[in-house]
C-alpha cells in the first residue's frame, strides 16, 4: 500500500550530526513516490551540503528567508502552503526552543508559523541536553501546540554518551509518516487490546511467564489507531514503545490485566485479546525469597481467570465485538474453533507458534481467522501488515454479524 504516494512532505533540516540520516530519509520518501522538498538552516549546511539534498529530492533546496526566485519574494509562504506535512529532522535543542517560542527571523521559523498542516519534529541531541528541564519544557509547549514529537531513540550517541537523544532511524520516521497518512475512518470506535506476556510472581525475585514480546498486540493497537480509532492497550511487561495515538496501561500479572480490561471493556466497541496470559499463578506468593532446597520445590498452581471469556460473557448491551487469539502447536484450526465456541467469541485469530520464525518474539506471523460460519487465511507477512488485514476483517465481520454504529 503506497500511503505516501503523492503526499507533499517538507523536510526541514537543522544543524545536528544526524542531518546525514536525512539523505536516506529523503531517498526513501522518494521511493514511496512522495513529493519532497527540503529546507536547510545555515548550521545544517555545515553538516551536509544542499547539493546532496537537491540530488536526492530532485528539487532545489530552500535556504533563504527572502527568496528572490519566488513569486513576490514570499517563498516561505508558498512553501508553507505547499506542504501537507512539515518534518523538522533532526530538531536540535536550539531549534526546538525557537519553534516553541515562535521566532520567525529565519526561513525555518517563518515557514513553521505559516504552515497549517501537520507539524512533526524528530529531536536529536546529547542525552543530558534532552533531559534538561528547559528542553522538556519546550517539548511540552510544542506538544500543547499539537506538534507530533517522534523519538528520540535511546542508544549510543556520536559524543560517546549513551541514553535518549538519538534521532529515529529513517525507516522508523517513514513508518510514522505512513501511519499519519492512513484514512481516518474509525473516529469514535473504541477499541481495547491486550498484549504481551503476564508475570506471575513466585516470590520477590522469581516469576512464571512466557516468550510473548508484545509485537503482535502492539501492531493490532497501532493498526486501529492509525485509522483514527480510540485505542486502549493493556500491556504486560514488554520492551516496545507505545504506538502513536494509543493509550497504554501497563500491568504485570493476569489479575491486574483482568482488572484493567474489565474497567474498559463494557465501554468498548471491539476487544482484541492478543496477550499471552499466564494460565496459572501460585496460590500464595512467598513474602521472602524461597530458599534453595536439595529436595526441589513444590508449587501449588491455581488457574487465572480467563479475561477473554469474561469479556465475551458481558451482557448484550455492553458487550464489545470480541476477538481472541489462539496460540497452538498442532491442529491449529481445530483447537482454534474449539476456543471460539467454548469462549463464545465473535472471531479468533489462530497462529501456529511452533512454526520456525513465526509467532512468539518474531516480527512475522501467519494467521487463520475463524468465525461462526466462515474462515480465512492470512499468509505469512510482517505482524504490522497482518494487523492491518485483521482490522479490515474485524470491521467486516462486525458489520456482517449485525453490529452497526
Q: Is the peptide bond before 90 cis (omega within 30 degrees of 0)?
A: yes
- Smaller CB distance to ligand PMT: residue 319 or 339? 339
Q: Write phi, then psi, for 156 (nearest 5 degrees).
A: -70, 140
Please tell me whether residue 360 binds ligand PMT under the rule CB under 6 A.
yes
Is 106 a binder of ligand PMT (CB under 6 A)?
Answer: no
Q: According to the binding rule CB under 6 A, does residue 275 interact with ligand PMT?
A: yes
Nearer to ligand PMT, 32 or 339 (CB): 339
208 binds ligand PMT (CB under 6 A): no
Per-residue contact flags (x/-) with ligand PMT for residues 322 to 351, judged by CB under 6 A: --xxxx-----------x-----------x
Specify whether 181 is catalytic: no
Residue identified by cell 487490546 is 193
**Per CB under 6 A, 214 contacts ligand PMT:** yes
Q: Which is nearer to ligand PMT, 89 or 332 (CB)?
A: 332
Closer by beta carbon to ligand PMT, 155 or else 361: 361
- Residue 117 Cβ vs ligand PMT, minimum distance, rounded to whole Å: 34
306 binds ligand PMT (CB under 6 A): yes
Q: Which of 38, 353, 387, 391 binds ligand PMT (CB under 6 A)?
A: 353
Q: Is 359 in the site for ligand PMT (CB under 6 A)?
A: yes
**Candidate segments 2-10, 134-142, 225-233, 302-310, binder of ligand PMT by CB under 6 A:** 302-310
| 290/318 with CB nearer ligand PMT | 318
Binding mask 175-204 for ligand PMT (x = CB under 6 A): -------------------x-x--------
Distance of closest approach, residue 345 Cβ to ligand PMT, in angstroms: 8
Is residue 216 part of the contact set for ligand PMT (CB under 6 A)? yes
Q: Least distance from C-beta 272 to ligand PMT, angstroms?
A: 8
Q: How far is the CB of 103 from ligand PMT (least distance, A)?
A: 44
Q: Is the dihedral of CA 338, 342, 346, 348 positive or negative?
A: negative
| Residue 212 is a binding residue for ligand PMT (CB under 6 A) | yes
For position 44 contacting ligand PMT by CB under 6 A, the verdict is no
Options 10, 80, 254, 390; binder of ligand PMT; rule CB under 6 A: 254
SS3 string of the chain?
CCCCCCCEEEEEECCCHHHHHHHHHHHHHHHCCCEEEEEECCCHHHCCCHHHHHHHHCCCCECCCCCCCCHHHCHHHHHHHHCCEEEEEEECHHHHHHHHHCCCCCHHHHHHHHCCCEEEEEECCCHHHHHCHHHHHHHHHHHHCCCEECCCEEEECCCCCEEEEECCCHHHHHHHHHHHHCCCCCCCCEEEEEECECCEEEECCEEECCCCCCHHHHHHHHHHHCCCCEEEEEECCCCCCCCCCEEEEECCCHHHHHHHHHHHHCCCCEEEECCECCCEEECCCCCCCCCCCCCCCCCCEEECCCHHHHHHCCCHHHCCEEEEEEEECCCHHHHHHHHHHHCCCCEEEEEECCCCCCCCCCCEEEEEEEECCEEEEEEEEEHHHHHHHHHHHHHHHHHHCCCCC
Q: Are 246 and 233 in contact (CB under 8 A)?
A: yes
Q: Does 121 bind ligand PMT (CB under 6 A)?
A: no
Which of 22, 159, 350, 376 is flagged as catalytic?
A: 159
Residues that bind ligand PMT (CB under 6 A): 194, 196, 212-216, 254, 273-277, 279, 304, 306-308, 324-327, 339, 351, 353, 359-361
Query: What residues are labeled active site?
Result: 159
Amino acid at each position: 500500500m503506497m500511503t505516501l504516494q503523492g503526499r507533499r512532505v517538507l523536510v526541514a533540516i537543522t544543524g545536528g550530526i544526524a542531518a546525514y540520516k536525512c539523505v536516506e530519509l529523503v531517498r526513501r520518501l522518494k521511493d514511496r513516490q512522495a513529493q519532497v522538498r527540503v529546507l536547510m538552516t545555515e548550521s545544517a549546511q555545515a553538516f551536509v551540503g544542499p547539493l546532496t539534498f537537491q540530488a536526492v529530492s530532485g528539487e532545489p533546496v530552500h535556504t533563504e528567508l527572502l527568496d528572490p526566485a519566488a513569486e513576490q519574494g514570499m517563498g516561505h509562504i508558498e512553501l508553507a502552503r505547499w506542504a501537507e506535512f512539515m518534518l523538522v529532522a533532526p530538531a536540535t535543542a536550539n531549534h526546538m526552543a525557537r519553534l516553541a517560542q515562535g521566532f520567525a527571523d529565519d526561513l525555518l521559523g517563518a515557514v513553521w508559523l505559516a504552515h497549517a498542516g501537520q507539524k512533526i519534529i524528530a529531536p536529536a541531541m546529547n542525552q543530558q541536553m534532552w533531559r534538561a528541564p528547559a528542553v522538556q519544557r519546550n517539548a511540552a509547549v510544542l506538544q500543547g501546540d499539537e506538534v507530533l514529537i517522534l523519538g528520540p531513540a535511546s542508544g549510543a550517541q556520536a559524543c560517546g554518551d549513551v541514553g535518549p537523544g538519538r534521532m529515529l532511524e529513517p525507516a522508523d520516521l517513514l513508518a510514522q509518516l505512513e501511519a499519519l497518512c492512513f484514512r481516518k475512518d474509525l473516529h469514535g470506535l473504541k477499541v481495547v487490546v491486550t498484549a504481551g506476556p503476564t508475570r506471575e510472581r513466585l516470590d520477590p525475585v522469581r516469576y512464571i511467564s512466557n516468550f510473548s514480546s508484545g509485537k503482535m498486540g502492539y501492531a493490532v493497537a497501532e493498526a486501529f489507531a492509525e485509522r483514527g480509532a480510540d485505542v486502549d492497550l493493556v500491556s504486560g511487561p514488554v520492551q516496545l514503545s507505545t504506538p502513536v495515538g494509543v493509550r497504554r496501561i501497563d500491568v504485570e500479572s493476569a489479575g491486574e490485566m483482568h482488572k484493567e480490561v474489565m474497567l474498559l471493556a463494557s465501554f468498548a466497541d471491539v476487544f482484541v485479546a492478543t496477550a499471552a496470559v499466564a494460565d496459572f499463578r501460585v496460590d500464595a506468593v512467598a513474602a521472602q525469597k524461597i530458599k534453595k532446597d536439595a529436595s526441589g520445590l513444590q508449587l501449588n498452581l491455581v488457574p487465572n481467570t480467563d479475561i477473554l471469556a469474561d469479556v465475551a460473557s458481558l451482557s448484550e448491551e455492553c458487550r464489545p465485538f470480541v476477538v481472541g487469539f489462539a496460540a497452538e502447536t498442532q491442529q491449529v484450526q481445530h483447537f482454534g474453533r474449539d476456543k471460539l465456541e467454548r469462549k463464545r467469541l465473535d472471531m479468533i485469530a489462530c497462529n501456529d507458534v511452533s512454526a520456525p520464525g513465526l509467532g512468539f518474539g518474531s516480527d512475522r506471523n501467519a494467521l487463520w481467522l475463524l468465525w461462526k460460519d466462515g474462515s480465512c487465511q492470512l499468509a505469512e507477512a510482517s505482524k504490522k501488515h497482518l494487523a492491518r488485514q485483521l482490522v479490515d476483517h474485524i470491521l467486516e465481520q462486525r458489520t456482517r454479524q449485525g453490529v452497526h454504529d
